[in-house]
Structure 1
Amino acid sequence: MQSIEKPAILSNRFDTKKKEVLGNLYRPGTLYTKEPVTTFDHDFWSLGHGKVIPHGIYDSQQNRGYITLGNSKDTSEFACESLKTWWNNYGKAAYPNANSILAKCDGGGSNNANHYIFKEDLQKLVNEIGIE
């Protein structure tokens, strides 16, 4: 009797979170300093020095999250680049026998399944990393 090895599939959830304005702006929380820090009390775009876009990937098998920060736009290219960065820096080592990735997306914004651009970028990604 021949044993058939099940393919290794890892499951990830990924999504872009709220864009944040960069600069000397008020943020809730605690900061311990020896000198007072003066900030603007509102985070208007005009007071900031740009924005940062966090893109999160949650590895459900290892119960770990990974964040990629971008400063351009929330595009399908950025979403796929985040997944590629995760794969090259963490996924390859954590899952050496994986032959596919199951990416669970909310289906909005840059990773909308109805947008052909996201599908094209995903295909480019799998062609580049050599995994389904």
Structure 2
Amino acid sequence: MASMMLCSSYSMPAAARRDSGAASLGFATSQLAGLSLNLGLSSASAATTAVVVKNTIVARRICPFLEKKTNRANKVSFSNHKTKKQQFVNLQYKKLWWEAGKRYVKLRLSTKALKTIEKHGLDAVAKKAGIDLNKK
């Protein structure tokens, strides 16, 4: 591999070889190029440090009420060939009436959590999950 790299870039000048190598590996166009990682952090400050890419929050496919999340399973063909697949939670956006707050609350929850809320009530399920329904 190294001899192949030398043969292909041998005819170029040294400065051009350095520039083309970085561009071909994609180091110059990395999204995380401006971030610096500090490995000498104390444990207290390391827990509060988070990396944010392009100021966006990525919503995970987890139900906040029941903590249901993606399951990894095997897809089994007729010939018994197993391939990995993911079984995602059935998350839905719902507006529910919150009686204590006298307003509607827009939530992203699983259909199983929706059935649990219908059975026990929104306040009880939110309290058990440790979720504050007040606006921030």
The two structures have a TM-score, normalised by structure 2, of 0.19
Greater radius of gyration (CA): 2
Identify the structure with bigger relative contact order (alpha carbons < 8 Å, sequence gap 6+).
Answer: 1
